Amino acid sequence: MSGSSASAGDAPPPTTSVTASTIVAEVVSGSHVLKIDGFSQTIGASDGGSYALEESGYLVGDSFSLRCDVAVVKDIRTEDDATTVKKLVGVPPPSDIGAHLGRLLAAGHGADVAIHVGGETFAAHRCVLAARSPVFMAELFGPMAMSRHNNEETIRVHDMEPRVFEAMLHFIYNDSLPEVDDDDDGEVAAMAQHLLVAADRYDMGRLKLICEDTLCSHVDASTAATALTLAEQHHCERLKEACFKFMENPSNLKAVMASDDFLHLTRSCSSLLKKLAKLAA
């Protein structure tokens, strides 16, 4: 006996994925009134039936009017329903991972390395330091780490002030610099100078650019010589341009040359002497 039913072992028919969509048409509409005179002349041509128009009240003075409503479809398209439905969820807020890591640093939970800077010690997390700085990556997980004793969980940082390292550590975790007194331009510039050196030392490009931008906006007679020295030694072309731009003014150049840091600039950056001489000429 033949039959068309599928056996129990047959695979189910394939399913088709259907996405909902809406037909959207751009329509231009309008109306036109047509007046017809001489209705009585058409009576003789009829087959003798009743004239509903005569009894309707629309026939006035042997004439009547027709109103025609016209709609012209200019364009027809389809849109996915996902684009026509108003979003129920607002735009996500900015990333707060820096705030979370900052709280981790402040609390010290899970810290696994101690960093000695000057007379102070900072607790930190090896993975966070390594993720943010290639230099820390090499020191903590590369050949430099293998050369230390296995049970030594400390790092010693030389030639850096504790407050500068603390600010850099804050940036490593928070991706932002700690707040400083913006009214004290000297302190802002001094910290930016130290942090630029630290950022270059630990290969932290974003921090270095932030410090360079800060120094560019704080170039004056008291900072230009030091800023130009740092720009030359740490390859900060924008900062170098800002310093030379400031010294194009003869009075500014005279004030910079009279500063205590200008002599250090001429001794440590001989490559700049030719351009400085050209400005002074």
Q: What are the pLDDT digits (tens) for 31-88? A: 777 777 777 776 655 554 446 667 777 777 778 788 888 887 777 776 665 555 556 6
- 123 bridge partner residues: 114
pTM of the model: 0.66
Secondary structure E strands in the chain = 21-37, 63-80, 113-117, 120-124, 154-157
Q: Tell me: the pLDDT tens digits for 120-172?
A: 999 999 999 999 999 999 999 988 676 655 446 889 999 999 999 999 999 99
Digit-coded pLDDT (tens) for 189-247: 999 999 999 999 999 999 999 999 999 999 999 999 999 999 999 999 999 999 999 99
**Where exactly are the structural domains of the chain?**
97-172, 179-280
Return d(Cα 48, Cα 69) in angstroms, integer: 31
Does the domain formed by 97-172 have CATH 3.40.50.12160? no
DSSP class of residue 131 equals: H
- Residue 185 to residue 183: CA distance in whole angstroms: 6
Secondary structure of residue 122 in the 3-state scheme: strand
Q: Do the bridges between strand 113-117 and strand 154-157 make them parallel or antiparallel, or are there none, so unpaired?
A: parallel
